[in-house]
Amino acid sequence: MTDRHTLLSSIASEADRDISIASLFEAETDRLSRFVMREGPLRADFSKQALDDAALAALLDLAAKCDLEEWRAKLFSGERVNTSEDRAVLHMALRGVGGTAENKAEVAAMRQRLADYADAIRSEGKFKNIIHIGIGGSDLGPRLVADAFEASADQALTLRFAENVDGASVNDAVKGLNPAETLAVVVSKSFGTQETKMNGESVRDWLGEFGSSNMIAVTANRDGAEAFGISGENIFDFWDWVGGRYSVWSAVGLSLQIAYGPDVFADFLDGARAMDLHFRDQPLQENLPVMMALVGIWNRNGLGYGSQAVIPYARRLRKFSAFLQQLEMESNGKSATRAGKATTLTCPVIWGDEGTNGQHAFFQWLHQGPSEGRYGGAPVDFVAVLKDHEDRPAHHTALLANCFAQSEALMLGKSEDVVRAEMGGHADVDALAPQKSFPGNRPSTTLTLDALSPNALGHLIALYEHKTFVQGVIWDVNSFDQWGVQLGKVLATTILDEMDAGQSGIHDASTTALMQLAIS
């Protein structure tokens, strides 16, 4: 296998030419049919990327030389592709794809137990509220999904989240609730995460006499949960082959099953399963996650973009950009290969906000700002939902119109010559025309969902999961560890102990001074 640096340099060389996206539409009358892909309720339009046939051929050749098909087979067969922790990666087995016979039996048994528990809680009527306590993958996935389920599913119980160690998070979660009617779900794979344990302790104190009866746990560390005071029958397991940022499909989603029902959650799993099968079975050139990943490689390693914007034009997907920050940046934000060699130009910065809010904030930069990328700004993934779930058709039409207009404006821009013609003989034309012109030729992808159904949401999240895996293979990094989050956590524990004791240990002058401010 050729050295990754050499392979990625070839992509940079292929991209060392100017491509006019608008001109591609003029030259390629069939461009839309060739650069649009669909899987179930999800349609992806890559036609507004600065990508021509030669570039796509080079990217597919790159994927082949990086042994992508072999790595894909390893992933689904249960080989230990998480090499630094010597673990298999089998979150797809939670959706019924891949895994060993033992995995399948474990998953089937847990899915039945979760559904039975959720049904019992919903029919019993004792609880009216759920407080979901977790952080990172134990929070971002469930929070995103809860927002999205609101579009098409009835919520039987109030669902709140406590994630940040900031006391405001717990205070907001418990505000106005009755402890007797509230079920607390503590979610932590290790059951050692500082924020989750502290929030769990605070909620347990708030529950008072109901602290033992109204608290359950979801964890891979049953002993840790029992030491916390949660009885064995109230602990729901998930396994070391489920990474935290891939865990919403597991017992981590129990709060969602209780609030919205097991059938809704099953439909969510089925949507992801469909994308799993598509990714596993389709050839690379017809494979939607592969195409997503290769477009990202082109923008990052070919065109030199350092960031990627993700803009959902759906308020109920407002946490999607934050969810992807963890999924992609924790997975591929690495500067060492699997073999421990230094590498550069891996994961870009992922950022964004819901449309149309962003149009009144950072879209100025997207349209006219400079960038290290070839064409300025940053590539954008637009995400839109075609069905109106809010019974406000005028609002929905305006929302979609804004989404579609932004992708067109980023591509077409507005030349200085056009601006000058519009301004005529204006006295300040020389000063104003450059300010009012838009360079255009800024790449974007538009993803549309037929509806914001649980099934469509499953498709969408699984698409980005597999995109992330493909990019990790091409960059030759381990997408399934997260050593970068550990050092700060270790130091925080030390500093917390010292602050609780009222004195600082040996630190740099700045850290010592900050600790003294808090202690005094």
Q: Walk along the chain (520 residues) and give the pLDDT tens digit of each residue.
A: 468 889 999 999 999 999 999 999 999 999 999 999 999 999 999 999 999 999 999 999 999 999 999 999 999 999 999 999 999 999 999 999 998 889 899 999 999 999 999 999 999 999 999 999 999 999 999 999 999 999 999 999 999 999 999 999 999 999 999 999 999 999 999 998 889 999 999 999 999 999 999 999 999 999 999 999 999 999 999 898 999 999 999 999 999 999 999 999 999 999 999 999 999 999 999 999 999 999 999 999 999 999 999 999 999 999 999 999 999 999 999 999 999 999 988 999 999 999 999 999 999 999 999 877 899 999 999 999 999 999 999 999 999 999 999 999 999 999 999 999 999 988 899 999 999 999 999 999 999 999 999 999 999 999 999 999 999 999 999 999 998 888 888 888 899 999 999 988 899 999 999 999 998 7
* Residue 146 CB contacts under 8 Å (≥ 6 apart), including other chains: 159, 161, 255, 256, 259, 260
Total count of domains within the chain: 3
Catalytic residues: 330, 360, 489
115 lies in the same domain as 220 = yes
Q: What is the pLDDT of residue 2?
A: 64
24 lies in the same domain as 131 = no
* Residue 377 CB contacts under 8 Å (≥ 6 apart), including other chains: 365, 366, 367, 368, 369, 371, 410, 442
Domain boundary among 210, 237, 266: 266
* Residue 289 CB contacts under 8 Å (≥ 6 apart), including other chains: 275, 278, 279, 463, 465, 466, 467, 469, 470
Q: What is the pLDDT of residue 91?
A: 95
Task: Give the Cα separation of 12 and 21 in Å (integer).
Answer: 18
Q: Is residue 277 part of a domain?
A: no
Radius of gyration for the alpha carbons in the chain, expressed in angstroms and rounded: 25
**In which domain, by residue range, is 116 found?**
91-266
Q: Is residue 85 part of a domain?
A: no
Task: Give the Cα separation of 275 and 271 in Å (integer).
Answer: 7
Q: Is residue 275 part of a domain?
A: no
315 lies in the same domain as 382 = yes
Q: What is the pLDDT of residue 370?
A: 87
331 lies in the same domain as 396 = yes
Amino acid at 43: R
Q: Is residue 228 part of a domain?
A: yes
Q: What is the pLDDT of residue 139?
A: 96
447 lies in the same domain as 301 = yes
Q: Is residue 76 part of a domain?
A: no
Q: What is the pLDDT of residue 520?
A: 79
237 lies in the same domain as 317 = no
Domain boundary among 236, 266, 296: 266
pTM for this entry: 0.96
Q: Is residue 480 part of a domain?
A: no
354 lies in the same domain as 444 = yes
227 lies in the same domain as 135 = yes
Burial-class residue 220 by CB neighbours within 10 Å (0-12, 13-18, 19+).
buried
146 lies in the same domain as 259 = yes
Q: Is residue 491 part of a domain?
A: yes
Question: Taking the mean position of all CA atoms in its chain, how far away is CA 178?
Answer: 33
* Residue 89 CB contacts under 8 Å (≥ 6 apart), including other chains: 75, 81, 82, 241, 243, 246, 480
Which tokens hold the place of 369?
């700002």
Q: Is residue 331 part of a domain?
A: yes
Domain boundary among 240, 266, 292: 266
β-bridge partners, 185: 132, 216
252 lies in the same domain as 370 = no
386 lies in the same domain as 405 = yes
113 lies in the same domain as 257 = yes
Residue 226: CATH number of its domain: 3.40.50.10490
Cα separations (Å) of 358 from 268, 482, 489? Answer: 28, 30, 32
